[in-house]
Amino acid sequence: MNSFHVIAGHGETNVYPSVRKIGFSDLRAALAAGFDDFRAMPSHLLFLAVVYIIIGAFLYPSTSGENAAPLLFPVLAGYALIGPFVAIGLYEVSRRREQGLPHSWRNAFDVLRSPAIPSILAVGLLLMIIFLLWLATAQALYQAQFGVWAPQSYRHFINQLISTPAGHRLIALGVSIGFVYAVATFSIGVISFPLMLDRDVGAAIAVYTSIKAVLISPVVMAAWGLIVAASIVIGVATLFVGLAILTPILGHATWHLYRRVILPD
């Protein structure tokens, strides 16, 4: 029975939320609302962002060997793959503020007491599996072009990429295959986590609804994905300091985007 709850939610029958087509004005409104949440509650959101940055910082050495240059970009890109799950605490803060409930940084961890936490963990595990598959794919692509030997240094690896035919093939294949992984994980996670937190619909219905939302508004959702990707690039370029601001804003904005995508009960 518990496994059924994880998959299908708390109800005896499956209830599929209604999805509406959104426009670019919805993106602007979601970002504005996300910034408003961040401005109203910056102290504890920065605390949460620091936690997420620590997770990202440890993610890199924990998934690579002594010389991890070939996996540097895949790991950083993978941060975006698991981002929707990592930001679950931010969704909870936005939800509580929206409902007029207490919303200190401690309340963000109330998500751990949510009846939907098994479903949330199930989808989070799915994203983690995809992330690990992406890393394995990236490693296989590198070895197919350059062999099993790791580059001597990051500078040597970059020179390989930009000055050799094998490097050009690696870039083309990595970007193409990575795009497929990115679309898959984005479609799975963009709406599913806020939906499970809000309605406890179960993992299967949440993933289905999230994919449906992307298919209904593909151009707008693609723009949202580009915004998230650009924010991560900026955050990494500032040695992860930018993520302390951009992560909570995007997390809150994702909650408000969910509210605009999914029609009320």
Domain assignment of residue 10, yes or no: no
Segment (H or E) for 209: helix 203-216
Measured distance CA(250)–CA(226) in Å, rounded: 12
pLDDT digits (tens, 9 = 90+) for 17-43: 999 999 999 999 999 999 998 888 775
Task: Say which amino acid occupies 254.
Answer: T
* φ, ψ of residue 217 in degrees (nearest 5): -125, 65
Provide the 3-class DSSP secondary structure of residue 262: strand
Pick the range with the lowest mean pLDDT from 41-55, 100-114, 125-139, 201-215: 41-55
Provide the 3-class DSSP secondary structure of residue 19: strand
Non-local (6+) Cβ contacts of 181 within 8 A are 81, 130, 133, 134, 137
User: Is 227's pLDDT higher than 90?
Assistant: yes
Structure tokens at 14: 């499956």
Number of domains the chain contains:
1
Domain assignment of residue 83, yes or no: yes
Pick the range with the lowest mean pLDDT from 23-32, 67-76, 246-255: 67-76
pLDDT digits (tens, 9 = 90+) for 84-126: 887 888 898 899 888 888 766 666 778 888 889 999 999 999 9
Domain with 95, as residue range(s), is: 20-58+72-261
Non-local (6+) Cβ contacts of 210 within 8 A are 187, 188, 189, 190, 191, 192, 195
Domain assignment of residue 3, yes or no: no
Centre a 10 Å sphere on the Cβ of residue 218 and count the other Cβ atoms it contains: 11
Domain assignment of residue 245, yes or no: yes
Q: What is the mean pLDDT of residues 242-251?
A: 83
Measured distance CA(224)–CA(24) in Å, rounded: 9
Measured distance CA(261)–CA(117) in Å, rounded: 22
Which of 29-33, 51-55, 141-145 ranks highest by mean pLDDT?
A: 29-33
User: Measuring CA to CA, which residue among 158, 177, 189, 176 is closest to residue 80?
Assistant: 189
Measured distance CA(223)–CA(204) in Å, rounded: 25
Domain assignment of residue 209, yes or no: yes
User: Measuring CA to CA, which residue among 215, 188, 208 is closest to residue 8?
Assistant: 208
Domain assignment of residue 13, yes or no: no
Higher pLDDT among residues 115 and 210, named by residue: 210
| Cα atoms in the Cβ-side hemisphere of radius 13 Å centred on 65 | 10
Domain assignment of residue 173, yes or no: yes
Measured distance CA(158)–CA(167) in Å, rounded: 9
Calculated CA dihedral for residues 125, 188, 196, 216, nearest 10 degrees = 180
- Per-residue pLDDT, 59: 57
